[in-house]
């Protein structure tokens, strides 16, 4: 089958480590153009590889390459909305790295542009594509655990980037919440099936940062009675990284990292974790591979859309409430 002609906007760490190498090897993709406002990055890539044309800005890239079918956007967060809207209005499918935008208002512009264009819009939430996350979701979706009433999530790790903009509120939109909290919120809401939100209560701390939060604790209530907690930090004084998503239902529970499935049978709780499932040692990298290949498949029509713009907008509305709650020191009630 003919390969999808893909362009990449933004040549930061995640592109260099994940997007470019994965798309180079993808059987359904051909990289035809790359761009970054720091043109030295572009030139460095073109010296090493001769697979694409290089540009300083997205406008010129789109204008000179009408054959582009899809664009991967991994620019600075405050540039996501402008870039994504331009690509969608130009009739391109768009994959935008998380977070979709700097706030819900900008996310809504992207979603509206996608609806008008009729093109695919997918948001990079790679943790949905971890082997253990997908298995956990299958048990939840299959009602094996009964009705889910509580999801407990957390990610304690060092910040993902050392770039200056990453801790500037106007450019990144926030700190650890926009880095890790949004990921855990998305994962938790996905497990719950994206129910309507009732309220959000949140606390931020700035122990090692003067500009953005480096620890956050959030409690989300949903209109169906379920609730979700999020615990994220760059600054906990502990060794190692800790990532978890624990789901509790009326008939069982499921945890990841490690994967454990428990179910009530005849008034006794049994471990029903699949025994022959192999979790790849490179679960993190393989999640990006699965995610990007899923995006390509959704363009070809072989996969149903997942991690959509509408879901990302719902997440961003909660993120906006997280910051409002932390600033005001009170619970934010949704209309």
Q: Are residues 147 and 250 in the same domain?
A: yes
Same domain, 94 and 174: no
Residue 160: band (very low, low, confident or very high) from pLDDT cuts 50, 70, 90 = confident
The answer to whether the beta carbons of residues 42 and 59 sit under 8 Å apart is no
> Residue 281 above 70 pLDDT?
no
113 and 260 fall within a common domain: no
Over the stretch 314-324, which tens digit does the pLDDT of each residue have?
999 999 999 99
Q: Are residues 250 and 193 in the same domain?
A: yes
| pLDDT at position 280 | 66
Q: How far is CA 187 from the centre of its chain?
A: 9
Distance CA 13, CA 19 (A): 9
**Confidence tier at 278 by pLDDT (50, 70, 90):** confident
Per-residue CA distances from 116 to 73, 92, 207, 216, 262 (Å): 19, 12, 44, 36, 44
Q: How many CA atoms lie within 13 A of 140 on its CB side?
A: 28
Q: What is the CATH number of the domain that holds 99?
A: 3.40.50.720
| The pLDDT of residue 305 is above 80 | yes
pTM of the model: 0.95
Q: List, for residues 38-89, the tens digit of each pLDDT value.
A: 999 999 888 887 778 999 999 999 999 999 999 999 999 999 999 999 999 9
Q: What is the CATH number of the domain that holds 237?
A: 3.30.360.10
Could you list the residue range(s) of the whole structural domain that residue 172 is in?
Answer: 128-282+314-333
Q: Is 309 domain-assigned?
A: no
pLDDT tens, 165-224?
888 889 899 999 999 999 999 999 999 999 999 999 999 999 988 899 999 999 999 999
Q: Could you tell me if 110 and 12 lie in one domain?
A: yes
How many angstroms separate the CA atoms of 100 and 130, rounded? 20
**Would you say residue 114 has pLDDT above 90?**
yes
183 plus 99 within the same structural domain: no
Task: Read off the pLDDT of each residue in 254-279 and give the average, rounded to a whole number.
Answer: 91
- Within this chain, do residues 110 and 165 fall inside the same structural domain, yes or no? no
Query: Based on the domain organization, do 157 and 196 belong to the same domain?
Result: yes
Whether residues 39 and 164 fall in one domain = no
Residue 126 sits at the vertex; the CA angle it makes with 54 and 156, to the nearest 5 degrees, is 115
Total count of domains within the chain: 2
Residues 87 and 139 in one domain: no
Q: Are residues 207 and 325 in the same domain?
A: yes
Domain assignment present for residue 48? The answer is: yes
Average pLDDT over residues 281-307: 91
Query: Measured between alpha carbons, how far is 14 from 126 in angstroms, rounded to an integer?
Result: 12
């Amino acid at each position: 089958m003919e390969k999808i002609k893909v362009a990449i906007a933004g040549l930061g760490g995640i592109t260099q480590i994940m997007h470019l190498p994965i798309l180079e090897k993808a059987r359904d993709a051909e990289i035809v153009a790359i761009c970054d406002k720091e043109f030295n990055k572009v030139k460095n890539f073109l010296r090493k590889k001769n697979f694409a044309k290089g540009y300083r800005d997205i406008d010129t890239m789109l204008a000179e390459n009408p054959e582009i079918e899809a664009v991967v956007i991994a620019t600075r967060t405050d540039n996501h909305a402008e870039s994504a809207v331009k690509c969608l209005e130009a009739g391109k499918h768009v994959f935008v790295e998380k977070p979709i935008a700097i706030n819900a208002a900008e996310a809504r512009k992207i979603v509206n542009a996608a609806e008008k264009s009729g093109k695919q819009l997918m948001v990079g939430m790679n943790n949905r594509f971890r082997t253990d996350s997908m298995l956990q979701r299958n048990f939840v979706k299959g009602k094996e655990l009964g009705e889910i009433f509580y999801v407990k999530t957390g990610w304690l790790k060092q910040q993902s980037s050392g770039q200056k903009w990453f801790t500037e509120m106007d450019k990144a939109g926030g700190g650890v919440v926009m880095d890790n909290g949004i990921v855990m919120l998305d994962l938790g809401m996905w497990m719950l099936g994206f129910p309507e939100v009732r309220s959000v209560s949140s606390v931020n701390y700035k122990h090692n940062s003067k500009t953005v939060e480096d620890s956050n604790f959030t409690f989300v209530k949903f209109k169906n009675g379920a609730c979700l907690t999020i615990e994220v930090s760059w600054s906990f004084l502990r060794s190692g990284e800790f990532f978890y998503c624990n789901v509790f239902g009326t008939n069982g529970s499921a945890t990841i990292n490690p994967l454990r499935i428990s179910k009530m049978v005849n008034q006794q709780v049994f471990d029903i974790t699949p025994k022959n499932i192999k979790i790849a040692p490179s679960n993190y990298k393989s999640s990006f591979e699965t995610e990007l290949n899923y995006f390509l498949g959704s363009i070809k029509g072989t996969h149903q859309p997942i991690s959509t713009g509408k879901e990302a907008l719902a997440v961003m509305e909660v993120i906006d409430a997280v910051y409002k709650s932390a600033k005001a020191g009170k619970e934010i009630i949704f209309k």
